[in-house]
Structure 1
Amino acid sequence: MLIRVLAAGLLLSVAPMTAAVAQTAPAAAAPAFEARHLMIPAPDGRTIDISVWAAPEERGVIVFSSGFNSAPAAYHRILSEWVSHGYTVVAPLHVDSLQHPDHDKYDNRAAFSTRIMDVAVARGVARHIAPGKPMIAAGHSFGSLISAIEGGAVTVAGPHGDPEIKGVIELSSPGIIQGLVTPTTWEGLDKPLLVITGDKDVVPGFATDWHDHRAAFDGSPAGDKTLLIFADGDHSLIARADDADFATIVEATEAFLDAYALGDAAAKARLNALPAPDGVTIERR
């Protein structure tokens, strides 16, 4: 009951943030890769629509969680880059998505608990379709919190980490969520972490200080942690970044993937030596 109440408060606050992502993202070209859809039964009786973008030359797999009210296909710009780089993407359609056929059957209280279940099922799918391949958790906004939990972050809901997760990519985290995130939440996030945000990454009525988006970077154990801050980058950065900024995001995320999914020492060296272009600040700890 406690978790349901906390989730209700959280998601009422998150809603404006995801609306901004959905409504301000520009029209984009068709995805470079088409997803196939797997309809997987969940332990709670639901059926989860899981999108799978298969990498032609698969080296690893990414379990991706989208932002609140959003859907996996909305992120095809970055997902296509990762797929072409050799990482199959497995992404559930969460019940809070406006594209979910049963969206109206669920209130905001259901979103947190069903998301935890969704990504657990998605990891099972990833193990089945890419046996033995290393796994990274990634997400945007609310989805980045879910991914951090997969990597060991512990909220009031308790631990839901997966020891097989090799690293976590957070794209514009939801910030500090009162009643869910605790002062010790990030202490369990001892996996490699890449956080990408901007100094305009605020959401009126929810995240009024962009510095909150660096909480996982600042609060998790030091070692293999990287933070990129884009000048004028807002909560829709991953969708709206110009070509130069997007190229930096691709370079950083792909170096992170190779370094920590594949254990590629040269990729880790590239990530650690990645220069900060004009308008980008890079921190490491």
Structure 2
Amino acid sequence: MIIRRTFASLALALSLALSPTTPALAQAALTPTTASAPNPFVAAASHVELSAPDGRKIDVSVWPAADERGVVIFSHGFNGSPAAYTRILSHWVDEGFTVVAPLHVDSLRHPDHAAYDGQAAFATRIADLAVTRGFIKATRAGKPLIAAGHSFGSLMSFIGGGAVTVAGPLGDPDIKAIVAFSSAGDLQGVILPDTYAALRAPALMITGDADLVPRYVTDWHAHRSPFDRSPPGDKMLLVFAGADHSLVRNAEAADFDLIERATTDFMKAHGLGDAAARARLDALSATDGVSLERR
């Protein structure tokens, strides 16, 4: 009921940011590039069907870590799917983080994709993630929870971590840390001047100086907003020279190695209280072509 009322109140504002006919923050390019070759990591996922408040069925992929230390709830980019992010997700699983990722209705792989327009993406994603967090807490009680996402999914992670949009406060205090690739930018009618003022959860933001999305992010500096406008304390920003909106998938080996190390140590340090990971994180320095900022 709450979700339905939220959607009704957001419809006008969202129409300014998410066109029903234009794939906002489109991630069609983030579908697997080797469709003819089965991806063993994708095939290894178990699937759980959860029920949304409006009766929708939510398909949730679960990749369990062999030695589970924490859980990452991952939200994919608009039009994307969890399967597009196997490069980074598989690394997190190997490092002891079970990954739990719902398939949102805006995904081109969702069987009911055509029944929903861009305006529906915001409210349905909020519901998807709330229900999925409930599932995680019921099945993995006591395990630290990290919110991660790409593009539109990163906005969802920030909201879970305390950011307040036109939807109001929807933060989950059980989220210990946030890892965000790119961002949804400063979506008109959705992001407020003080949206990130309440974002107190530790957050790692990763973007590039060519990270643009036609119509929605025309200046890559918009991706800095969660970092620049949130309270200082355990905030990090990595900016890769020349990197675009698909950095999370197409980063070169050296850059991806840095991304793997930074994200894993960030989650271990802030999610697990791992002192060794915190020491590595504090000692982390930028490499050529990468800037690193802390607040």
- Say which is worse superposed, 25-34 or 132-141, in terms of deviation: 25-34
Quick one: which of 142, 147, 167 aligns to 2:157? 147
The ranges of structure 1 where at least 4 consecutive aligned residues each deviate by more than 6 angstroms after the TM superposition are none
Matched, 1:67 2:67: no
Per the TM alignment, residue 173 of structure 1 is displaced from its structure 2 partner at its CA by: 0.6
Per the TM alignment, residue 20 of structure 1 is displaced from its structure 2 partner at its CA by: 5.7
- May I ask how many residue pairs the two structures share in their alignment? 284
TM-score, normalised by the number of residues in structure 2: 0.92
CA distance in 1, matches of 2:27, 2:73: 23
CA distance in 1, matches of 2:174, 2:130: 12
Quick one: which of 10, 26, 46 aligns to 2:56? 46
Quick one: which of 26, 30, 47 aligns to 1:22? 30
Secondary structure of the equivalent of 1:132?
Answer: coil
Quick one: which of 89, 94, 106 aligns to 1:84? 94
Secondary structure of the equivalent of 2:269?
Answer: helix
Per the TM alignment, residue 31 of structure 1 is displaced from its structure 2 partner at its CA by: 4.3
Equivalent pair of 1:154/1:188 in contact (CA under 8 Å): yes
| Equivalent residue number for residue 8 of structure 1 | 15
| Equivalent residue number for residue 274 of structure 2 | 264
| Equivalent residue number for residue 172 of structure 1 | 182
Per the TM alignment, residue 266 of structure 1 is displaced from its structure 2 partner at its CA by: 2.0
Unaligned 5+ runs, structure 1: none
- Say which is worse superposed, 2-11 or 89-98, in terms of deviation: 2-11
Unaligned 5+ runs, structure 2: 1-7
TM-score, normalised by the number of residues in structure 1: 0.95
Query: Deviation per CA, 1:108-148, whole angstroms, max 9, x where unpaired?
Result: 22110000000011111211232210000000000000000
Per the TM alignment, residue 19 of structure 1 is displaced from its structure 2 partner at its CA by: 4.1
Per the TM alignment, residue 17 of structure 1 is displaced from its structure 2 partner at its CA by: 3.2
Per the TM alignment, residue 271 of structure 1 is displaced from its structure 2 partner at its CA by: 1.0
CA distance in 1, matches of 2:291, 2:40: 30
Q: Sequence identity, in percent?
A: 56
Query: Deviation per CA, 1:171-192, whole angstroms, max 9, x where unpaired?
Result: 0111111110001000110010
Secondary structure of the equivalent of 1:217?
Answer: helix
Equivalent pair of 1:21/1:235 in contact (CA under 8 Å): no
Matched, 1:232 2:277: no
